[in-house]
Structure 1
Amino acid sequence: MTQITAARDGTVTPEMKIVAEKEGKTPEEIREGVASGRIAIPANVNHASLSPEGVGGGLRTKVNVNLGISGDLHDEEDEFAKVAVALELGAEGIMDLSNHGKTREFRRALIGMSSAMVGTVPMYDAIGYLEKALVDITVEDFLEVIRVHAQDGVDFATIHAGMNRRVIDSFKETGRLANIVSRGGSLIFAWMEATGNENPFYEHFDEVLAICREYDVTISIGDAMRPGSTYDASDAAQIAELIEIGKLARRAWDAGVQVMVEGPGHMALDEIAANMKLEKRLCHDAPFYVLGPLVTDIAPGYDHITAAIGGAVAAASGADFLCYVTPAEHLRLPDVNDVREGLVATKIAAHAADIAKGIPRARDIDNKMSDARRRIDWEEMFSHAIDPVKARRYFESAPPSTDGTCTMCGKMCAMRTVNTIMDGLTIDLDAR
């Protein structure tokens, strides 16, 4: 029994109860959301260390961290340091995007230690796992890799099933400035062009779903045609694929498999809200998982900011799950500091959106921070900060000469002044 089949049978699972407690909802509200497909609880039956999270309408916006071993930088110790930062800062999801060599040992270790849900893109692993040239990989090979990931305990798997021949024809006919920027999508496109076959994940979608159902893997239907340039956003190829994804989402639910839908990408600020509504409409309110969107293409080194801006608008407009972007985006594999900066920026975007959406209890922590600032309680302020380590480091790097203040205002601290007056005392503003 999967989460969605249990929900449809009227059963509240232990995972639903945990999500309800985290979200301030009743278990029945969560069950109803899962039953309808509006909420997904990615929870592979083999992921024993998981602390379940809900992704979907009416819930807190969740944040994902990407990491993994690459061909040029394949230091597992570095990647586990990134995992530690992700867990420390409260990322709800970690995607292992390893694409070099035999990655199964790393993936199993990650799943064994991670309380966050773990996702993968089996297509990335296919060439290294199978030790075959791309054009020699068969449909059975692709399915075998998905099964291995499912057996290992992966909670959600990105499967680029929506890019079928109809979508490819649309892409070729209309053209693009940046072509296909999805790594998985580009590999499938290359395989299709070389073999003349249909997308194997589209053509054999029922077999993919059978594997997912067996282990309760949530299928995250990948957007192979996501725009990698603001110029390409909302174009024919993107929308054509989204229409196909909407059809596949219904098939997955009918098969007892939970669904998330992946989205852009790069997108101008004024297009984001409409795209979020379009996804919800075409994909029947399935949870929406977006990368950014990055709202400009000219900020390498600062793309965590361009993505956080877009992510805040996206989540406030209906996106449910934000994939972080680091300062290293478009430049190199991120290091541990990049992971911290990217994750914090995305968590800010998610939290800001939750306040805007009126998510229950979202504003509580902000109110606590404001109260601590009024009382000038530095320790309490640090405890409420998204990144308490950085907040403390900044404060302690420039000790104030006046207790209870910081070096920005010193004796002229507004909080200190008003607190003193409200206590019936005289404030000392001697300029010396």
Structure 2
Amino acid sequence: MNYSTQMDAAKKGIITKEMEIVAKKEKVRVEDLMELVSQGKVAIPANKNHLSIDPEGIGKGLRTKINVNLGISKDCCNIEMELEKVKKAIEMKAEAIMDLSCFGKTQEFRQRLIHMSPAMIGTVPMYDAVGFYDKELKDLTAEDLFRVVETHAKDGVDFMTIHAGMNRETAEIFKRNPRLTNIVSRGGSLLYAWMELNNKENPFYEQYDRLLDICEKYDVTISLGDACRPGSIADSTDPSQIKELMTLGELTKRAWERNVQIMIEGPGHMALNEIEANMVLEKKLCYDAPFYVLGPIVTDVAPGYDHITSAIGGAIAATYGADFLCYVTPAEHLRLPDLEDMKEGIIATKIAAHAADIAKGIKGARDWDNKMSKARKELDWEGMFNLAIDEEKARRYRKSSMPEDEHTCTMCGKMCAVRNMNKVMEGKNINILREDD
């Protein structure tokens, strides 16, 4: 039987090779996975033209996935440096990479990225449009925007952030309900500005069926962007955010009718006590579609440490329903991240994702922790390093401060609880001040 997309195949009862790969990774029955894909509760972003992809599933009952943002800008236009980041992200097993390039002719970088990456690739075509045509924002036409989308799809992009929920109605809600930080989504602000400058409706909303045509043709997953995501904790869960979310729910159902896979993007900055409710609200209003969140960043006062503020929010968000975490680096709000910033962002986000998987009861999630605990009990340092989420840092810290007794560390030395409990449980004497017998 023929099928157009992963969702179309699932509805027809066809098990694709991508479903088989994902089911094996997730340790779930492929038939159960197929049912979730058919319902839209799991997405498998896998463009037909992305030949190097190692597919992943995002959604209900699956491991929380992470995304790494990178790409060139006008101030930092070093393609080779960004490709080094790509290599590091792949090495660190990030499941997705978003190319957020927003300057110049980006197609060369995007095509090289897709060719070399087993991770799924995402883009925001709106970022590319100004440079693609060398036109000012006001002068772009709807035709221009759809041509960029088709170019990205043809190149092999697996998912695209499209801010289709920023329509005239949402814009009016925003105007009537002033915010502390206005619209902080780059793509959302560009579309809002385009609408205002041209006094027109958002083309991606107005011609949504045309967008679905492109995505169905190449099996591109639409990541419905949150133009009104809060940029400060003061703006979270406000009328603009909720109105847009309601619109995204309507667009989700229309996409599923066309067998186009959907993810929903979410906040943003948000106080800890609002996160759970927002996750429940998204799942309710968007019919349990996979939820992709940036953070949430739980306080606004930690520039230089936003990988931590984001990881705190991300762990809570994923515990209560988020399926996909976009990493945040220490450079957030300050500069384009360098290689070390990227690594710190990946580690922090992986910790958040894994902590949430434990809380959600994802199959096999605790096994990793139990193996680490066993290695600690046995003072098996090599085992601990091999299991560490960041093996290089663990080895470096250990090597930088070696204890007198090689089985312990310089925190406790021979007063090490693990060492002494092992000895006493084995009926052995404990020598703390002297050499062992």
**Residue in 1 aligned with 2:352?**
349
**Residue in 1 aligned with 2:429?**
426
Q: Distance in 1 between matches of 2:191 and 2:169?
A: 14
Q: Distance in 1 between matches of 2:30 and 2:428?
A: 52
Please give the per-residue CA displacement for 1:112-162, whole angstroms capped at 9, x wherever unaligned: 111111100000000111111111111111000000100111000000000
**Residue in 1 aligned with 2:28?**
25
**Residue in 2 aligned with 1:156?**
159
Q: Distance in 2 between matches of 1:400 and 1:153?
A: 52
Q: Which moved more, 1:412-421 or 1:363-372?
A: 412-421
**Residue in 1 aligned with 2:56?**
53
Q: Distance in 2 between matches of 1:100 and 1:407?
A: 50
Q: Which moved more, 1:167-176 or 1:402-411?
A: 402-411
- Is 1:329 the equivalent of 2:325? no
**Residue in 2 aligned with 1:398?**
401
Q: Residue 425 of structure 1: CA displacement?
A: 2.0
Q: Residue 421 of structure 1: CA displacement?
A: 2.1
Q: Residue 378 of structure 1: CA displacement?
A: 1.1
Q: CA RMSD in A?
A: 0.9
**Residue in 2 aligned with 1:123?**
126
Q: Distance in 2 between matches of 1:109 and 1:421?
A: 59
- Is 1:176 the equivalent of 2:192? no
Q: Distance in 2 between matches of 1:4 and 1:281?
A: 21
Does the 8 Å contact 1:89/1:387 carry over to 2?
A: no
Q: Distance in 2 between matches of 1:77 and 1:400?
A: 42
Identity of aligned residues (%): 63
**Residue in 1 aligned with 2:276?**
273
Match of 2:384 among 356, 381, 386: 381
Please give the per-residue CA displacement for 1:247-272, whole angstroms capped at 9, x wherever unaligned: 00011111110000000000010000
Letter in 2 for 1:100: F
- What SS does the corresponding residue of 1:363 show, helix, strand or coil? helix
**Residue in 2 aligned with 1:252?**
255
- Is 1:412 the equivalent of 2:415? yes
Q: Residue 422 of structure 1: CA displacement?
A: 2.6
- What SS does the corresponding residue of 2:105 show, helix, strand or coil? coil
Match of 2:246 among 235, 243, 248: 243
- Is 1:137 the equivalent of 2:140? yes
Letter in 2 for 1:58: G
| 5+ long unaligned stretches in structure 1 | none
Letter in 2 for 1:179: N
Please give the per-residue CA displacement for 1:274-310, whole angstroms capped at 9, x wherever unaligned: 0000000000000000000001101100111110010
**Residue in 2 aligned with 1:41?**
44
Please give the per-residue CA displacement for 1:345-367, whole angstroms capped at 9, x wherever unaligned: 11111111110011110000000
Q: Distance in 2 between matches of 1:15 and 1:393?
A: 38
Please give the per-residue CA displacement for 1:50-102, whole angstroms capped at 9, x wherever unaligned: 11000001111000010000110111222122112211221111000001111
**Residue in 2 aligned with 1:86?**
89
| 5+ long unaligned stretches in structure 2 | none
Does the 8 Å contact 1:4/1:257 carry over to 2?
A: yes
Q: Distance in 2 between matches of 1:119 and 1:303?
A: 22
Letter in 2 for 1:117: M
Q: Distance in 2 between matches of 1:96 and 1:377?
A: 40
Please give the per-residue CA displacement for 1:176-199, whole angstroms capped at 9, x wherever unaligned: 110000000111111100100000
Match of 1:227 among 230, 237, 256: 230
Q: Distance in 2 between matches of 1:94 and 1:382?
A: 27
The two structures have a TM-score, normalised by structure 2, of 0.98
Q: Distance in 2 between matches of 1:173 and 1:272?
A: 25
Q: Distance in 1 between matches of 2:39 and 2:159?
A: 18
- What SS does the corresponding residue of 2:365 show, helix, strand or coil? coil
**Residue in 2 aligned with 1:282?**
285
Letter in 1 for 2:34: R
Does the 8 Å contact 1:89/1:386 carry over to 2?
A: no
Please give the per-residue CA displacement for 1:176-233, whole angstroms capped at 9, x wherever unaligned: 1100000001111111001000001101111111101111000000000000010000
Q: Distance in 1 between matches of 2:289 and 2:160?
A: 15
Q: Distance in 2 between matches of 1:163 and 1:195?
A: 15
**Residue in 1 aligned with 2:103?**
100
Q: Residue 431 of structure 1: CA displacement?
A: 6.3
Q: Residue 30 of structure 1: CA displacement?
A: 0.7
**Residue in 1 aligned with 2:69?**
66
- Is 1:14 the equivalent of 2:17? yes
Q: Distance in 2 between matches of 1:281 and 1:310?
A: 20
**Aligned residue pairs: how many?**
432
Q: Residue 418 of structure 1: CA displacement?
A: 1.5
Match of 1:315 among 310, 313, 318: 318
Q: Distance in 1 between matches of 2:159 and 2:41?
A: 16
Q: Distance in 1 between matches of 2:327 and 2:434?
A: 46
Letter in 2 for 1:245: L
The two structures have a TM-score, normalised by structure 1, of 0.99
- Is 1:197 the equivalent of 2:200? yes
Does the 8 Å contact 1:63/1:321 carry over to 2?
A: yes
